[in-house]
Amino acid sequence: MKSNIPFKLFVNCVLVKGANRSTICDLQRNDVRVIPNDLHDLLAENEGKTIDEIKKQYGNEFDEIIDEYFQFLYYNEFIFFSKQVDIFPKLSMEWADSTIINNCILDIDENSNYNILNVLQQLNDLQCRYLEIRNFKSAKIEVISNVLKFLKESESSIQSVEILLPYFNGIELWIASTQEKYVRLHFVRVFKSPFNKNIAPKGDHKLHVMFTKQDYQNELCCGKINQSFFSANMLAFTESVNFNSCLNKKLSIDRNGNIKNCPSMQYGFGSVASTKLKSVVTKNDFTKVWNISKDKISICKDCEFRHICTDCRAYLENPNDHLSKPLKCGYNPYTSEWSDWSKNPLKKEAISFYNLQAVTEKP
C-alpha cells in the first residue's frame, strides 16, 4: 500500500453499480465481489488520486474505513499504485465475433422428422461454432451419433457439441465409446438418472459428463436464473454489455422443426423444411431480440449482477412486456434478497400463462 501514490483499478476489474449494492467483476480471474455502493462511488469518483488525498477530502473523518476499503482492494489485486495512471486506457467494451450464428439448439423428440443433417450443413454456412442437442422424452442415440459423425467428416465449423438426454441402461458405455470417436463432444448432461454424478474433463479428454436425478420433460425447463450460472469473463461480460446474454447470435429448431430464437419462445419463423436458415437470420424480426441487453431490461438494469448473469426472453415476469425481467429469477436487487421464484405470489399469473406449474427446472 502506497498512500501517497495515485491508485488505479485494473481495467479488467469492472465496477457494476446496482440499486442497493455493487460488484467488482474480475474478468481476468473470473471472480465477483459484492461491495457497498459507498465504495463503488468512492472508486468511481476518486480514481487517480492518492489515498492521502481521499482521506483529506473527507476531512480525515473516515480514515479507518478508507484504509479498510483499500486494504481489501489491494489485497485482492483490484487496484495498483502508479504515477503513470494516464497511460492505462479504459478497457474496450466491444464484443466481436466472426460467426453469423454462434450457437444453435436442436430439440428432438420421438415425433421430430426434420432433416437434421441438412440443418447442420446450413449451420456450417453460417459459421456456427457451438451446438446443443436436446432429447427430452427418449434418447435418440443413433441421431446423435449421426450428427457427430457428420460434423467430423464434413470438417464442420461446429467445434463443440453439448447433449441433453435421459438416462438409459448402458449409457455410460455409450458415452465412453462416443467420446473416443468424437473429440467435438464436450458436454453430456444425463437426466432422470438413478444417481447424481459429475465427471470433469481429464487429460486429453475434453468431455464433461453430468448425471442428475432431475427430470426435464420439455423445453419449459429452461430459463432459470441462478447464481451458479454467473460467469465473469471478458467474452461473456462484453457480450452482455452490448447484446442479449442468451439469444445473441443464437438459432434454434424446436422439436416440431420450427425455426426460433429459442425453442421455448412462442414466436416461430417458419418450418425448417421449407425455409432457409440464411433467409431467417438476416431478418430484423429474428435479430431484434439479440439487442436486448440487460441495461434495457426493467429491474435487471438495476441489478449489480446484470453483466455476469444469463437472461431469458421466453418466460417473462410480465408476458406482455418484452423488456420485462426473467420470470424464473428470484433475486430482488432493491433488497438484495434471493427467494424461490416459483413460490412468489406475484408471479403466479405469469406461471400459469406459460403453463409452468408442473415443470421441474433445469438446475
Partner 1 sequence: MILLISSKYDVSTNNVVRWLNYYGINYVRLNTEDFNPLNHFSLSNKSSKLTINDIDISTITAVWHRRGRLRHVPNSLNNLGKVTDYLKKEEDSLVKSIETYLRSTKKYIGSYTSEVENYKLEHLMMAKECGLNIPNSIITTSKKDLIGFYNSHSQIISKDLRYPINIKTSDVSINSIGTFKVTDELIQGLDEQFAPIYAQEYIEKEFEIRVFYFERRFFSMGIFSQHDEQTQVDYRNYNTQIPNRCVPINLPLDIEKQLLSFTDKIKLNTGSIDFIYSTDERYIFLEVNPMGQFDWLSKNCNYHIEREIAKEFMEV
Q: List residues near partner 1 by CB under 8 A.
A: 10-12, 28-29, 77, 80, 82-84, 87-89, 91-94, 96, 98-99, 127, 234, 238
**Closer to partner 1 by Cβ: residue 99 or 332:** 99
Least CB distance from residue 305 to partner 1, whole Å?
Answer: 21
Least CB distance from residue 113 to partner 1, whole Å?
Answer: 32
Closest CA relative to residue 248, chosen from 189, 213, 294, 217:
294
Least CB distance from residue 49 to partner 1, whole Å?
Answer: 18
Closest CA relative to residue 261, chosen from 193, 314, 322:
314
- 199 backbone dihedrals φ, ψ, rounded to 5°: -110, 105
**Closer to partner 1 by Cβ: residue 105 or 128:** 128
**Closer to partner 1 by Cβ: residue 191 or 243:** 243
**Closer to partner 1 by Cβ: residue 13 or 175:** 13
DSSP codes, 311-332: --SSSBSSTT-TTSPBTT--EE
**Closer to partner 1 by Cβ: residue 59 or 89:** 89
18-21 — which CB contacts under 8 Å span 24+ positions? 18/302, 18/303, 18/304, 18/305, 18/306, 18/333, 19/302, 19/303, 19/333, 19/334, 20/304, 20/333, 20/334, 20/335, 20/336, 21/304, 21/336
Least CB distance from residue 8 to partner 1, whole Å?
Answer: 9
Q: Cα separation of 294 and 325, whole Å?
A: 9
Least CB distance from residue 129 to partner 1, whole Å?
Answer: 9
Find out whether 120 and 108 touch, Cβ atoms under 8 Å: no
- 351 backbone dihedrals φ, ψ, rounded to 5°: -60, -40
Q: Three cell numbers at 315? A: 418466460
Least CB distance from residue 38 to partner 1, whole Å?
Answer: 25
Q: How far is CA 323 from CA 61, 294, 312, in A?
A: 44, 9, 11
**Closer to partner 1 by Cβ: residue 44 or 65:** 44
Least CB distance from residue 75 to partner 1, whole Å?
Answer: 11
**Closer to partner 1 by Cβ: residue 89 or 203:** 89
- 269 backbone dihedrals φ, ψ, rounded to 5°: -120, 35
Q: Cα separation of 305 and 332, whole Å?
A: 11
Q: Quick one: angle between helices 141-153 and 171-181, nearest 10? A: 10
Least CB distance from residue 292 to partner 1, whole Å?
Answer: 22
Provide the residue count of the chain: 363
**Closer to partner 1 by Cβ: residue 83 or 355:** 83
